[in-house]
Homo-oligomer: A and B are copies of this chain.
């Protein structure tokens, strides 16, 4: 298939709060007060976890259907820990972002443990968000002056 392009536009409403337009949708990303925001929405790293859970839902069902694996009542919990020191310009050897992201997928199935493990590995390999997090994704920031 040809590549699909996805894009969002965003506007800084404050140094912590961002209004993001995605097609006909609007998301507000903010920080809680202790991180300098007004708590008008999930924060950026929580939004990454939400995206990851959403992507895994899609791929979990797609792969289950292909493999004939029953998958009912799927619930997901995603979490990660990060040290804010690099962000805050404090001395640290830790990275800026999540050190690891763990996602638990809980569901009803009558599949064998071996079939579930085969499904799990395939989901991880084919989920676009999993790929972008677990492998290097080139990122390009372009600064432009408004005129």
Partner of A107, one of B3, B136, B145: B145
Most chain B CB within a 10 A radius of its CB, from A45, A82, A103, A143: A143
Known contacts: A105-B142, A143-B116. The answer to whether A12 contacts B74 by CB under 8 A is yes
Chain B residues with Cβ below 8 Å from A96 are: 125-128, 130-131
Asked if residues A57 and B3 are in contact (CB atoms below 8 Å), the reply is: no
Size of the chain A interface, CB-CB below 8 angstroms: 110
Asked if residues A51 and B58 are in contact (CB atoms below 8 Å), the reply is: no
Number of copies: 2
What residue of chain B has the Cβ atom nearest to residue A125's Cβ?
Answer: B96
Asked if residues A25 and B42 are in contact (CB atoms below 8 Å), the reply is: yes
A133 to B108, CA, bound (A): 32
- Taking beta carbons and an 8 Å cutoff, which residues of A are in contact with B? 1-12, 15-18, 20, 22-23, 25, 27, 29-31, 36, 41-62, 65-66, 73-90, 95-109, 116-117, 119-120, 123-146
Q: 9 closest pairs, A vs B, by CB? A: A29-B54, A15-B61, A44-B55, A47-B51, A97-B131, A97-B132, A7-B79, A10-B53, A12-B74
